[in-house]
Amino acid sequence: MAKFSHHLFVCCNQRSATHPRGCCDPEGSQTLRACFKAELKARGLTPAVRANQAGCLDQCELGPVVVIYPQAVWYGGVTLDDVPRIIEQTVLQGQVLDDLLIPDDRLNTKFPKPSESTP
Ligand code: FES
């Protein structure tokens, strides 16, 4: 079997609504992962590209979080509407989407979301 070209790890972690860090899948529905899976299948990209369920990726304040390996591209604030362009532009064309990218200097920090930052 050929190697995987991309693994998309989609955080499906669920926490209580009162948890201070929040979570990427408050309803526990795995809707975002399901959307990635459907898009990959529709484009005939499986099995070389996989969308895996991930537990907490420890970037909760920036979620919903998706990380793509082996490219190590981290995306935050991912919505269902972002799925087609992530597949098209990042997986197929190798482009990084700047509006979703979690910069290296924000990984593994607990900074507030940009919208919550003070000017
Ligand atoms: S809950 Fe998704 S990164 Fe922590």
pTM over 0.85: yes
pLDDT tens digits, residue range 38-58? Answer: 999 999 999 999 999 999 999
Q: Which residues of the chain have pLDDT under 70?
A: 1, 111-119
Which element (helix H / strand E) includes 50?
strand 49-54
Q: Give yes or no for a contact between 75 and 66, defined as CB atoms under 8 angstroms apart.
A: yes
Domain 6-114 = CATH 2.30.110.10: no
Instruction: Give distance in angstroms: CA of 32 to centre of ligand 1.
Output: 13
Hunting for tokens 């079997």 — which residue is that?
A: 1
| Separation of alpha carbons 12 and 95, rounded Å | 24
Closest ligand 1 atom to the C-alpha of 59?
Answer: 3
* Domains of the chain by residue range: 6-114
Instruction: Give distance in angstroms: CA of 82 to centre of ligand 1.
Output: 18
